Amino acid sequence: MIERAVGWLSQEKHSTYGLAVTRMILGLVVASQLVVNWDDRHYTWGDGAEWTAPVRDATSWPSFLGLFGRLDGRAFDALYLLTIVFGVLLMVGYRTRATAIVTLFLWMSLYVANPFVGSGGDAVLRMVLLYLCFTDAGLRWSVDARQRAERGEIRPYVPTWASATLHNLATILIIHQVVMVYVGSAFWKLQSERWMDGTAVYYPLQTDAYSPWHDWLQPLYANGLVIGGATYLAIVVQLFFPVLLIHRPTRLIALVLITGMHLGIGLFMGILYFSLVMIAVDMILVSDSSWLRIAAAVRARGRRPVPQPPSRV
Partner 1 sequence: MSRVTMRSAFISVAVTIAGLHLVAVTLAALPPNRYSDATASRTGYLEPYFAQNWRLFAPAPVAQDREVLFQGSYVGDDGTARRTAWVSWTGVELDLIRHRLVGGRAGYVTNKLYGPLSQRYRGLGLAQRAIADGTDETAPPSWSELRADLSAGGADPVRVRTYVLYEEAAARLGTEVLEARTGHELTAVRYRLRAHSVVPYAQRTGSEVERQAARPSPTQRESGWRVPTTGGARERDAVAAFDRRHR
User: Hey, which residues between 16 and 35 contact partner 1 (CB under 8 A)?
Assistant: 33
Complex with partner 1: residue 57 or 293, whichever CB lies closer: 57
Complex with partner 1: residue 189 or 251, whichever CB lies closer: 189
Complex with partner 1: residue 190 or 292, whichever CB lies closer: 190
For residue 300, the minimal CB distance to partner 1 (Å) is: 32
Q: Is 173 in the site for partner 1 (CB under 8 A)?
A: yes
Q: Nearest-CA neighbor of 24 among 177, 144, 157, 113? A: 144
DSSP letters, 33-62, are HHHHTGGGHHHHTSGGGGGGHHHHTTS-S-
Q: Nearest-CA neighbor of 68 among 109, 122, 118? A: 109
Give the binding-site size for partner 1 (rule: CB under 8 A).
80
Burial label, 299 (beta-carbon count in 10 A; 0-12, 13-18, 19+): exposed
Q: Which stretch binds partner 1 (CB under 8 A): 93-101, 126-134, 141-149, 305-313?
A: 126-134
Q: Nearest-CA neighbor of 217 among 228, 233, 199, 202? A: 202
Complex with partner 1: residue 143 or 173, whichever CB lies closer: 173
Complex with partner 1: residue 4 or 312, whichever CB lies closer: 4
- In eight-state DSSP terms, residue 159 is -
Complex with partner 1: residue 145 or 169, whichever CB lies closer: 169
Rg (CA), the chain: 22
Q: Is 252 in the site for partner 1 (CB under 8 A)?
A: no
CB atoms within 10 A of CB 137: 34
Q: Is 43 in the site for partner 1 (CB under 8 A)?
A: yes
Element (H, E) at 183: helix 160-190
Complex with partner 1: residue 119 or 250, whichever CB lies closer: 119
For residue 141, the minimal CB distance to partner 1 (Å) is: 25
- In eight-state DSSP terms, residue 240 is T
For residue 104, the minimal CB distance to partner 1 (Å) is: 11
**Restricting to residues 185-244, which ones interact with partner 1 according to CB under 8 A?**
185, 187-189, 191-192, 194-195, 199-204, 206-210, 212-213, 216, 218, 221-222
Q: Is 184 in the site for partner 1 (CB under 8 A)?
A: yes
**Restricting to residues 106-125, which ones interact with partner 1 according to CB under 8 A?**
114, 116-117, 119-120, 123
Q: Is 53 in the site for partner 1 (CB under 8 A)?
A: yes
Contacts of 136 (CB under 8 A, 6+ apart): 13, 16, 19, 96, 97, 163, 167
For residue 255, the minimal CB distance to partner 1 (Å) is: 20
Q: Are 164 and 13 in contact (CB under 8 A)?
A: yes
Q: Is 51 in the site for partner 1 (CB under 8 A)?
A: yes
